[in-house]
Amino acid sequence: MNDPIRIGSLYPGRIQPNALSQSKNIKTADAQGNSFKDLLENRLLHFSNHAVKRLEQRGIELKAEQLNQIESAIDSAAAKGAKDSLILMKDMALIVNVNNRTVVTAMDGSSMKDNVFTQIDSAVIIP
């Protein structure tokens, strides 16, 4: 499970950009009336098209363990009421919309230097 994950490839339904939006006929619902699609999308980690491009341009590959750490960081930020969070992880930074569980952009260590991060309300540091 330490194989790198390439953005744009399907990894247990997690990071394929907009993969779920292409599923139109999911009609299963829970007791509150939420569709299975809605429940699934609320738990999955998404990547915006911009983030996918930045990851590819910067040669950043995410491993399954890193994806799990990012998901946990988003859960922690959400528990504190964060909306837009900076996630710092070793030699990479991610800006995440917590409510949508969507990575908005990503940068590697060299791209982070001399940068100012704006429009965030929290930061989560992953050791």
Confidence (pLDDT) at 115: 86
pLDDT (average), residues 107-127: 91
- Give me the residue spans of the domains in the chain: 4-126
Assign 20 to helix, strand or coil.
helix
The pLDDT confidence band at residue 10, using thresholds 50, 70 and 90, is very low
Residue 1 has pLDDT above 50, yes or no: no
Confidence (pLDDT) at 111: 84
Mean pLDDT computed over every residue of the chain: 79
Contact 80, 24 (CB under 8 A): no
Confidence (pLDDT) at 69: 96
Confidence (pLDDT) at 31: 52
Q: How far, CA to CA in Å, does 9 sit from each of 18, 20, 50, 113, 115?
A: 12, 14, 16, 29, 30
Q: Is 7 exposed, middle or buried (0-12, 13-18, 19+ CB in 10 A)?
A: buried
Q: In what order do the strands lie in the sheet with 92-97?
A: 46-47, 102-108, 92-97, 84-89, 122-126
Summarised one tens digit per residue, pLDDT across range 11-65 is: 344 454 443 333 334 344 445 566 766 655 666 899 999 999 999 999 999 999 9
